Amino acid sequence: MAELKVDHGMMPDWGRADLPAPPPISARNIWTVVGPGTIALSMSIGSGEWLMGPALGAKFGPTILWITTGPRFWGWVYVVFGFFQVAWPGWAGGAAAALFAAFVGKLPGAPDKATLMAFTYFTFGLTVLLLLWGGTVERGLEKIMTVIVIAIFTGLLLFNLFFVDAATWWRVFKGLFSFGVMPKGVDVLLLGAFAAYSGAGGMGNIWTASWLRDKGYGMGSLVGAIPSAIGAKEVKLSPIGTIFDPAKASNMANWKTWWKYLYWDQGAVFGGGCIIGMYLCVLIAVAIIPFGTSITGIGAGAYQAEYMAKSWAPLWFLALFCGFWILYGTQLAVMDGYIRVVTDIVWSSTKKPHTWKAGPKALYYLALLIFVAWGCIAINLARPMVLIMIGANMAGFCFIVSSIQQLVVNNTLLPKEVRPPLWRNIGLVCVAIFYSYFVLALVGKQTGWWSFV
């Protein structure tokens, strides 16, 4: 059979191989194969669900909840985009606020800034340590995030079942379907952040593909993975991808089965988890935090604990424990996500790192070292909530650019047999339009040129 010919644009030509067969669909295999969606869900919960959702819900009510239902040059463009989105370690600051409150017995205030900063450095440093172990970085991250996600959802569900009345459950549920409702005087910066971080957020959707590759989805098992610094076997990472011939029936059969696993991982675990997580977090905020409260201070990561403790005193420590792991898990995921994007781009577009003995491992941890050094500076620039909102609005802009580019790449470089159907292309266009609204609203608000909300 003649070799498959495809247009690879200005990139190096891809390798050729048959698509590896996925395990047969079963409950046990779904549990085994699902993983990247859990990491992405843990990342999403700490930004949109625990911080942005409650901040909007407490101040403006649950009607805004409807928003959640929904060549080398470009490589370096996304490195810059990603930097402006996630190089502000506000999640470490939010987690530190929960840790501070647990040790000191009160929410941090202005006089506690120095002590809180010490907790923030500790939390930020701890994320680095966990990225050193695990065989491949993705596998270690997946194990940690699975425990975090199960603990978080159990805690959120139990609190809402025992302490939130049925009327509030229904009122917040209706907010999921109050399409187009915009509360008067809504904070545009917070609104854009909420929209972007209701899911993975901007670059998060890009590095989720890297987690899928390292997990071994589809052709991922043929191109290698990024090994961890400690406890890893020798793992090779190819600088180019590998494609399969869609003319072979066996390849297309495997392709369809891999998609079923992807629906479970990204659709059920990540997508469904994001909506349920947002609902439960906003439900708590609407039920216990007085309407109109502004949750943007240095103690933003621990506000829920103060009000939950009024329902039952022991909830103070339980809520702080939950809040810490929610925000810590997000900091861990975004740190790994951005660093792996940088690693993949440099590894695929330059030759020098290929001469290094440790290869992609050395590149990954060098990029991590630089990121941490900058993060220690960025932590001091603004309150954690402000840092996260700045990055989140940059994520909205990333959504616009990446949606359009993905539309072009999918429909020009992929073989016709595996190009996305019309409804997926329409979905990408809708995503670009949706996030353009929030980005333009923020620009108009900051410049005074126009007003959408």
Domain for residue 2, yes or no? no
Among candidate residues 219, 210, 209, 289, the one with its CA nearest the CA of residue 251: 219
Domain for residue 8, yes or no? no
Dist. CA 122–CA 253, nearest whole Å: 49
The per-residue pLDDT string of the chain (453 residues; one tens digit each, 9 = 90 and over) reads 456 666 555 556 667 788 888 888 888 888 888 888 887 777 776 555 656 566 666 666 666 655 555 445 666 777 888 888 888 888 888 888 888 888 888 888 888 889 989 999 999 888 888 777 655 556 777 787 788 888 888 888 988 899 899 999 999 999 888 888 877 778 787 788 778 777 666 777 777 887 788 788 888 888 777 766 554 455 567 777 788 888 899 999 999 999 999 899 988 888 888 888 888 888 888 888 888 777 665 555 567 788 888 888 888 888 888 888 888 888 888 888 888 888 888 888 788 888 888 788 888 889 989 999 998 898 888 777 777 778 888 888 888 888 888 898 889 888 888 899 999 999 889 888 988 888 888 888 778 777 766
CATH of the domain at 247: 1.20.1740
Among candidate residues 8, 52, 28, 392, the one with its CA nearest the CA of residue 201: 392
Domain for residue 75, yes or no? yes
- Check: pTM over 0.85? Answer yes or no: no
Domain for residue 267, yes or no? yes
Contacts of 80 (CB under 8 A, 6+ apart): none
Give the CA dihedral 130, 321, 293, 119, nearest 10 degrees: -50
Domain for residue 326, yes or no? yes
What is the reported pLDDT for 152? Answer: 82
Domain for residue 3, yes or no? no
**Number of structural domains found in the chain:** 1
Domain span at 75: 18-230+243-447
Domain for residue 250, yes or no? yes
Domain for residue 224, yes or no? yes
